[in-house]
Structures are given as structure tokens and as C-alpha cells.
Amino acid sequence: MKTFIRNTLFGFAALSLVTMSAGISFADTNTLTVSGNVVGVCKFNSATSTLAFGALDPSSGAAASVAGSTTFWCTKGVSFTLGDDGGLYNSGGPRMRHATTTTEFIPYSLGMTPTAATGSGPATPITLNLSGNITFADYSNAEAGNYSDTVIITITP
């Protein structure tokens, strides 16, 4: 029994020495904050679109109308507005210029819908409907040939 007690006491003493020499350690914590910022952007799905009036026949007596569309998207929840620069030859309104006689113009009207709304993300593209109109009076006395204009459409989030 003495041996048992002596061995037990010796065991406790050894354990105490190991614990004391190793020191007592405590765990510590750190709080990590994770963050991000989704940017509100709008992007056209294609860089170009076209409204082609085609042949304007001065004997028709009718206005010329054309329609087209393009698509774009905006970040979910982002409000946007659409506008245009009036075209290269704007003078009180958009005009197409003759390809070779640079003093000849045909005025036209340009329509876009929608011009403002809220985006739903890239998986839900928005269709921008485009329309153009030329009154008969604006092309009935125009010089024969090709006319064109370039209009920049801008989405502003």
C-alpha cells in the first residue's frame, strides 16, 4: 500500500510539474468581418443597333416609319434613364446627311421606350424599343442618294 501511495503521490507530483512547466494556455478569438459592394451598372447587350428607313419614294405621298429594338440590362434595383445625343447632324432635331452632298439633310424623329425604369439584373434583359419617322414633306424634295446619321444612346444608372 505504501508503494501505491508513493507511486500515486509521485504521479501527481510529476503531473503538476509538467502542467506548471508547460504553463496554462487559454484559447483566444478573432472576429472576421466579410463585406462586399455590388456595383450598380447598366450594359447594352450589343454595341450597335440599326433603324433603316430603306427606299424613300417621293412619289408615294406617305411618311416613312421604321421600328427596331435593342436590349440591355441593369443591376437589380438600380434605376436608370436613357437618352441620346441627337445625332451627328442635329440642328433643332436629328437629321440624316447626304453621303456626297454634305449640305443636303433629311430631318427625322426618333423615339425610345422605356426611357426610365428599374433593372432586374443581367438574367432579365430590358428591350429598348426604337422608332423613327420622316414626314413626306421632309424627303419629297430631297436630292437622290444615300443619307445617314449616327446617334449615341446612353444609359445612366
pLDDT digits (tens, 9 = 90+) for 17-52: 445 555 788 999 999 999 999 999 999 999 999 999
Q: What is the pLDDT of residue 119?
A: 98
Residue of 133, 53, 128 lying closest to 94 (CA atoms): 133
**DSSP conformation class of 92:** S
Residue 9 in this model has a pLDDT that exceeds 50: no
Mean per-residue pLDDT, 80-106: 97
Residue 104: count other Cβ atoms within 10 Å of its Cβ. Answer: 16
Options 2.60.40.1090, 3.40.50.300, 3.30.1370.100, 3.20.20.80; which CATH number does 43-156 get?
2.60.40.1090
Instruction: Name the pLDDT band for 16 (thresholds 50, 70, 90).
Output: low
By CB atoms closer than 10 A (0-12, 13-18, 19+), residue 117 is middle
pTM (2 d.p.): 0.79
Residue % of the chain over a pLDDT of 70: 85
Q: Find the length of the chain.
A: 157
Q: Could you give the CA distance from residue 105 to residue 136 in angstroms, rounded to a whole number?
A: 14
Nearest to 83 by CA among 128, 149, 134: 128
Is there a contact between 105 and 89 (Cβ–Cβ < 8 Å)? yes
